[in-house]
């Protein structure tokens, strides 16, 4: 599913965010990316979201080299992804329902279908009763559940999550991870970047540890 | 259709959030289109007057008192052969005097005090409507008549009408330059307002980009925002022109801009707004 072949990413003044990183993630895997701040976790997710391209090496997803995609192919590729961020990235001027429905709406899904699908995923994350609330009226855990609902509403092939529990307490963090596990159980590949080793231990999945842009441990 | 609804709903929301800046952009477009509309309004009415004058434009061939019947016949034949006159009429000295008395009744006693008419006899030529713009042929006829025996003077009304038309054409070009500059300023103002909106909505744009929304979907609301601002500016301008027209009509006989011109103004405003919106939207990838 995801193949990184010797990828490096350098920024100004030759600073390496990733250095000669190779990684294989199979379809349906659940993988944690961990390591200290600045280890390169977010950079790798950024490359996987195709917000940037590697300076060296190849990053292949679903058989396609991401660096070779045209702008329109990037759009099509991103439609196969779901993303979750630490800061939730919800739109404060839109309701929970509107935030989640934004995805099927911009992808041209018929209105009735988008409403039905949005309601289904909100029910799945247990927030159907808050669908008319605005994000700032919700707790951090609830906001992250909305973000997860938005990430899965389009039935993505891969979910990329960057420190999704960074702002949550341990119990809520585990609750969020359980949602990811459920998504993964349906066959979706999940990649979660976190520096929370305790959480990784409790969830008990494959963890790839990065440091200074390189893989230092796979457990 | 649903996409359009989305574009315009988002655009309206965005305009409402930044209504101060949006009003400034609408006013700028409104001023630009008002100036354009004002030029068109003045042009329409001046042109109407000039056209009316043109329709009555005549060539007057004033004859010497000592003109002979032979010379009269030659002049008449030259006019007939030119095929430029729809009507030609011989006005004798006495007829000229009678007309003068009728046109200027206050001066009639003075004219009556002379034994014989002080006014010259003349030929008055009404030009054919289809040759009014063919001034070359008319000028040639005027030149030929001027050199004929028995002709004292030839007055051609169209010559000053042409000078007037030249002035109007110059004013139109100057007006077009001013309007183009105002349109540019309006487009740039819209672009800045839309850029503000783009900055305010950067989170939404980022999310749309991340979910792989088509470019049209990401850019559409910005273009729609420009179109709405342009349309509102045009309506503002047309409203102001209507008020000005009503005020002017109390003193002058005026006609308002035609419906197609009003539609062009409206579409022009939308096009300027659309351009401003697109300038920003094309940078959103």
| Residue B120 Cα distances to B99, B100, B116, B161, angstroms | 12, 12, 11, 24
Which pLDDT does position B115 carry in this prediction? 66
What's the rounded Cα separation, in Å, for the pair B195 and B183?
Answer: 18
The beta-carbon neighbor of B210 closest among A78, A93, A111 is A78
The band of B285, judged by pLDDT with boundaries at 50, 70 and 90, is low
Is the CB of A81 less than 8 angstroms away from the CB of B212?
A: yes
Q: Point out the least confidently predicted range of A123-137, A197-211, B129-143.
A: B129-143
The pLDDT of B34-55, averaged and rounded, is 80
What CATH class does B67-149 carry? alpha beta
pLDDT in tens, A169-188: 888 888 888 888 988 999 99
What is the percent of chain A with per-residue pLDDT over 70, rounded to a whole number? 100
- Burial class from Cβ neighbours inside 10 Å (0-12, 13-18, 19+) for residue B270 reads buried
> Does residue A122 have a pLDDT over 90?
yes
Q: Which of A93, A106, A111 is closest, CB to CB, to B211? A: A106
Q: How confident is the model at residue B8 (pLDDT cuts 50, 70, 90)?
A: confident
What are B225-258's pLDDT values in tens digits?
889 988 999 999 999 999 999 988 888 888 888 8
pLDDT of amino acid B241: 93
**Whether B209 contacts chain A with CB within 8 A:** yes
- Structure confidence at residue B56 (pLDDT): 64
Note whether B4 contacts A: Cβ–Cβ < 8 A: no
User: For chain A, which residues make up each domain, given as ranges?
Assistant: 1-80+157-219, 89-155
Distance between CA B155 and CA B62 in Å, rounded? 8
| Contact between A70 and A95 (Cβ < 8 Å) | no
A93 vs B contacts (CB less than 8 Å): 13, 17
Task: Check CB contact under 8 Å for A83 and B210.
Answer: yes
Put simply, the chain B residues between 132 and 191 with a CB less than 8 A from any chain A CB are none
Coil, strand or helix: which one is B121?
Answer: coil
Domain boundaries, chain B: 2-52+163-281, 67-149
Statement: residue A209 has pLDDT above 80: yes
Interface test with A, best of B10, B210, B218, B219 (most A CBs within 10 A): B210
Q: How far is CA A10 from CA A13, A15, A162, A194, A216, in A?
A: 8, 5, 20, 22, 19
Average of per-residue pLDDT across B18-24: 82
> How much is the average pLDDT of A94-120?
89
Rounded CA separation B233/B256 (Å): 19
Confidence of residue A57 (pLDDT cuts 50, 70, 90): very high
Residue of A nearest to B5 (CA): A105
Rounded to the nearest integer, the mean pLDDT of chain B is 82
Nearest chain A residue to B13 by CA distance is A93
Q: What is the least distance, in Å, from the CA of A21 to any CA of chain B?
A: 24
In chain B, which residues have their Cβ closer than 8 Å to the Cβ of A89?
A: 203, 206-207
Judged by CB atoms closer than 8 Å, whether chains meet at A107 and B212 is answered as: yes
Lookup: tokens for B176: 């077009």
The verdict on a CB contact (< 8 Å) between A49 and B210 is: yes
Interface contact A154, partner B, CB < 8 A: yes
Contact A102 B206 (CB under 8 A): no
What average pLDDT does this structure show over B108-118? Answer: 71
Indicate yes or no: CB of A89 within 8 angstroms of CB of B207. yes
pLDDT of A77: 92
Rounded to two decimals, the ipTM of the complex is 0.83
Task: Give yes or no for A49 touching B (CB within 8 A).
Answer: yes
B52 near A CB under 8 A:
no
Taking only the tens place, the pLDDT of each residue in A19-42 is 999 999 999 999 999 988 888 899
CATH 1.10.287.610 assigned to domain A1-80+157-219? The reply is no
pTM of the model: 0.65
Say whether pLDDT at A60 is over 90.
yes
Cβ-defined contact of A107 to B13 (cutoff 8 Å): no
Torsion of CA A194, A198, A204, A208, to 10 degrees: 40
The answer, for B215 touching chain A at a CB cutoff of 8 Å, is yes
Smallest CA–CA separation between B14 and chain A, in Å?
A: 11
Strand ordering across the sheet containing A56-61 = A16-25, A2-10, A56-61, A64-65
Name which of B17, B212, B215 is nearest A76 (Cβ-Cβ).
B212
């Amino acid at each position: 599913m995801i193949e990184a072949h010797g990828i490096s990413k350098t920024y100004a003044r030759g600073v390496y965010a990733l250095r000669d990183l190779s990684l294989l993630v199979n379809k349906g895997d659940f993988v944690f990316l961990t390591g200290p701040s600045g280890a390169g976790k977010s950079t790798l997710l950024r490359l996987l979201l195709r917000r940037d391209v590697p300076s060296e090496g190849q990053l292949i997803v679903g058989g396609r080299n991401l660096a070779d995609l045209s702008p329109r192919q990037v759009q099509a590729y991103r439609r196969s992804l779901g993303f979750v961020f630490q800061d939730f990235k919800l739109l404060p001027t839109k309701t929970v329902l509107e935030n989640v429905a934004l995805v099927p709406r911009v992808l041209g899904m018929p209105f009735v279908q988008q409403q039905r699908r949005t309601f289904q995923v909100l029910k799945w994350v247990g927030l159907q009763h808050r669908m008319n609330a605005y994000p700032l009226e919700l707790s951090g855990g609830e906001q992250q559940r909305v973000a997860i609902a938005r990430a899965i509403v389009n039935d993505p092939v891969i979910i990329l999550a960057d420190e999704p529990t960074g702002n949550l307490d341990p119990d809520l963090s585990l609750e969020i991870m359980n949602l990811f596990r459920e998504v993964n159980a349906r066959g979706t590949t999940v990649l979660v970047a976190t520096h929370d080793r305790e959480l990784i231990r409790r969830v008990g999945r494959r963890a790839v540890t990065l440091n200074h842009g390189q893989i230092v441990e796979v457990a | 259709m649903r996409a359009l609804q989305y574009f315009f709903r988002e655009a309206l929301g965005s305009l409402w959030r930044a209504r101060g800046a949006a009003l400034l952009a609408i006013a700028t477009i409104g001023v630009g289109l008002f100036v354009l509309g004002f030029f068109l309004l003045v042009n329409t009415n001046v042109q109407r007057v000039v056209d009316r004058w043109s329709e009555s434009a005549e060539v007057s061939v004033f004859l010497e008192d000592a003109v002979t019947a032979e010379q009269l016949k030659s002049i008449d034949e030259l006019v007939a052969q030119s095929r430029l006159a729809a009507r030609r009429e011989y006005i004798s000295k006495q007829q000229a005097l009678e007309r003068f008395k009728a046109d200027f009744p206050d001066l009639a006693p003075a004219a009556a005090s002379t034994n014989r008419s002080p006014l010259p006899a003349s030929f008055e030529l009404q030009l054919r409507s289809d040759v009014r713009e063919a001034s070359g042929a008319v000028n040639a006829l005027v030149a030929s008549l001027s050199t004929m025996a028995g002709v004292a003077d030839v007055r051609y009304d169209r010559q000053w009408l042409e000078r007037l038309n030249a002035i109007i054409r110059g004013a139109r070009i100057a007006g077009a330059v001013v309007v183009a500059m105002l349109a540019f300023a309006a487009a740039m103002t819209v672009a800045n307002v839309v850029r503000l909106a783009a900055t305010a909505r950067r989170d939404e744009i980022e999310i749309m980009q991340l979910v792989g929304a088509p470019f049209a979907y990401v850019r559409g609301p910005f273009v729609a925002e420009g179109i709405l601002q342009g349309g509102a500016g045009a309506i503002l301008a047309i409203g102001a022109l209507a008020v000005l027209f009503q005020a002017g009509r109390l003193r002058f006989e005026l006609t308002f801009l035609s419906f197609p011109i009003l539609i062009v103004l409206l579409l022009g405003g939308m096009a300027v707004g659309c351009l401003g919106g697109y300038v920003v939207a094309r940078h959103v990838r």
